[in-house]
Chains A and B, each alone.
Chain A
Amino acid sequence: MEEFFQQLTNGLAVGGIYALIALGYTMVYGVLKLINFAHGDLFTLGAYLGLSLLTSLGLSGRLGPLAGLLLLALLVMGFVALTGALLERAAYRPLRQSPRLSAVVSALGASIFLQNTIMLLYGARIHVYPQDILPKVAIDIGGLSIPLVRILVFVVSLLLMGALYLFIQRTRLGTAIRAAAIDQAAARLMGINVDQVILIVFLIGPGLGGVAGLLVGLYYGQVNFTMGWVYGLKAFTAAILGGIGNIPGAMVGGLILGVIEAMGAAYISVAWKDAIAFMVLIVILIVRPTGILGERVADKI
């Protein structure tokens, strides 16, 4: 049973990271109907920026671990968010009226561009996060000793998701984002500045993705420049699993995917770990073609 709960908490932590990345996919998809393939590389950018800031500023040494990490997370978030907004302006805005797949190819180009920018700046080798940021202790919860970093990752992702949920549900801007996702033209007619909504979506999504990158660095202790593809694909799978365009769906999808993967690796086969996620996805889509929380939209004739 010990093993089971260890895998469960591990799955929840990884699932929280997937969910944070998936939110970026699902929000952009909701408003623009675009699969932002560069999102995974924005996530990688967050991981590398976190590493640079950690090693150069030594924030946790000066401010203490928690305040230092908070400031670090905010810096990473801000910078990656700006990169995301810039990307939207350069690579996606000119393609807004064109066939949808053209924007997808532009996004793939942006992904290759970002990935290789990181590779050229940092080199192709694996980078290791400094190990002394967080005290290496395990916390005892109900007879289960869970590493502190695992709890931190899970709590941070839950807090961010909660904040985003409140923002989307309770504020005027959040309502505007939801409206633009349902019907862009109608939202425009209601006086919503859709361009502003798109800009905000491209700030929030990459911001969350950047923090997810930082969390992966802290959790696994190492980063490489191609990891954006793997995490991006997993997170996009999570977004689809929950029903793409649906914000709570991305959260649920991410957590479910993380847990399934951890369980699959532990109890079925490590070698098939990456395949299990996709098999689950296919089975769920056959049963529920719009994802777990996705609504069925009737075709207009």
Chain B
Amino acid sequence: MGFQQPVTNMTDSKYKIAGFGALILLLAVSPLFLNAYWVDVLNSVGLYALLALSLNVILGDAGLYNMGHAAFFAVGAYAAAYLNTQCGLPILWALPVSGILAGLFGLLLARPVIHLRGDYLLIVTVGVGEIVRIALINNLFGITGGPNGIFGIARPELFGFRIRRPLEFFYLIWGFVAVTVFLFARLKNSRFGRALDCLREDPIAAEGSGINTGRYQLLAFMLGAAWAGMAGCLYATKMTIISPESFSFWESVLIFIIVILGGAGNISGVILGTFLIIGLPELFRGFASARMWVFGLAMMIMMVFRTEGILPHRPRLFKGLDRLLP
């Protein structure tokens, strides 16, 4: 079993690790030097990073075209808001519950359609996103509050300390991002991650190698949906008010763009993509009403010049394999 230990990247050098460390450190101390507005922008980036990382499991790792990710985000946010305002459940306790509910919703939804070919799945997920949004507006079951949404969601409380300032939220959100990155990176190098790699590249070969493709695809879908649900819970407590317009088709598209433009399947790429897609429009504020025009143009140009995303996914190499490759 000579190929047991994957060498994640042949060019992994001490410099690269030091570089990553420096970037993380810079991010961790940056809110201390920024005003509340920019800290809030960083908080948005963190929430979108969570959403993009969760979609990356579905779209980047499993290769399932999902353009309705906002639906799971919405289910998590509304579950957390309802449990908190109506049942009095502390918001951090609602975090796992909203994740589980969104995951179950994802499973329920994906089960009958998971076998659909790529673009068919894409339009079905778009449709589900729209159905969920319309259901929220129409006050389904009388618990979603209609177009006004739900307000008065509590701030999170951790060991008696109430989190309310943007700076405090920064550490909550990015702490959760850090945990997510750690877990998802571990997952990528597990049996599960390798199975997904295989079935994304060639489902028939994967099936032939004894991978239960349907089961793994469902698991990936459920995991991504659950994580988006937890991001929804964090969003609900950060905003204290949620309404259907926060979960529009455009949000799903934005998350989709982040994953593909950053580099589907590559965690660093996805995070870099989040900074670009969520951060750039802030920097483009000088263009005033032409801001989105510049944004669209920039998107096309970036895609034309980096066709596989900014940081493309590289297949893992194993020790010893490099000698076999030319």
Contact = CB atoms under 8 A, between A and B. Distances in A.
Residue of B118, B127, B131, B135 ringed by the most chain A CB atoms within 10 A: B127
Given A108-B253, A233-B126, A286-B113, A275 B131 contact: yes
B134 interface: yes
B138 A271 contact: yes
Interface in B135-156: 135, 137-138
A301 B204 CA distance: 7
B76 to A, nearest CB: 20
A237 B260 contact: no
Nearest to B306: A102
Contacts of B204: 299, 301
Given A109-B303, A116-B296, A281-B124, A101 B260 contact: yes
A108 B250 CA distance: 11
B260 A105 contact: yes
Interface in B274-326: 289-290, 292-293, 295-300, 303-304, 307-309
Contacts of B303: 91, 95, 102-103, 105-106, 109
B293 A120 contact: yes
A286 B112 contact: yes
A90 B299 CA distance: 13
Specify the main secondary structure of chain B where it touches its partner.
helix
A125 B135 CA distance: 28
Given A282-B113, A289-B115, A299-B204, A120 B120 contact: no
B260 A102 contact: yes
A236 B300 CA distance: 21
A271 B290 CA distance: 33
A279 B135 CA distance: 12
A117 B124 CA distance: 29
A234 B113 CA distance: 19
Contact of A272 (B119, B138, B256, B304): B138
Interface in B201-260: 204, 249, 253, 256-257, 260
A113 B296 contact: yes
* Chief secondary structure at chain A's binding surface: helix
Given A35-B122, A240-B119, A286-B112, A272 B134 contact: yes
B235 to A, nearest CB: 23
B251 to A, nearest CB: 13
Contacts of B123: 236-237, 240, 281
A206 to B, nearest CB: 17
B191 interface: no
A278 B127 contact: yes
Interface in A243-279: 244, 271-272, 274-275, 277-279
B261 interface: yes
A112 B116 CA distance: 28
Interface in B41-94: 59, 65
B116 A109 contact: no
B16 interface: no
Which of A236, A277, A278 has the most B CB atoms < 10 Å from its CB? A278
B163 interface: no
B159 to A, nearest CB: 43
Nearest to A114: B296
A157 B293 CA distance: 32
Given A95-B304, A117-B293, A236-B123, A279 B131 contact: yes
Interface of A: 29, 35, 90-91, 94-95, 97-106, 108-117, 119-120, 229, 233, 236-237, 240, 244, 271-272, 274-275, 277-279, 281-282, 285-286, 289-291, 299, 301
21 contacts: A91-B303, A94-B307, A102-B309, A105-B261, A106-B299, A106-B303, A109-B257, A109-B299, A112-B299, A233-B130, A233-B249, A237-B123, A240-B119, A240-B120, A278-B127, A278-B130, A282-B113, A286-B112, A289-B115, A289-B117, A299-B204
Q: Which 3 A-B pairs have the closest CB atoms?
A: A109-B299, A278-B127, A112-B296
Interface of B: 59, 65, 112-113, 115-120, 122-124, 126-128, 130-131, 134-135, 137-138, 204, 249, 253, 256-257, 260-261, 264, 289-290, 292-293, 295-300, 303-304, 307-309
Given A100-B118, A115-B292, 14 more contacts: A29-B119, A90-B300, A98-B307, A101-B65, A102-B307, A109-B298, A113-B293, A115-B296, A237-B123, A274-B130, A278-B126, A285-B113, A285-B116, A290-B117
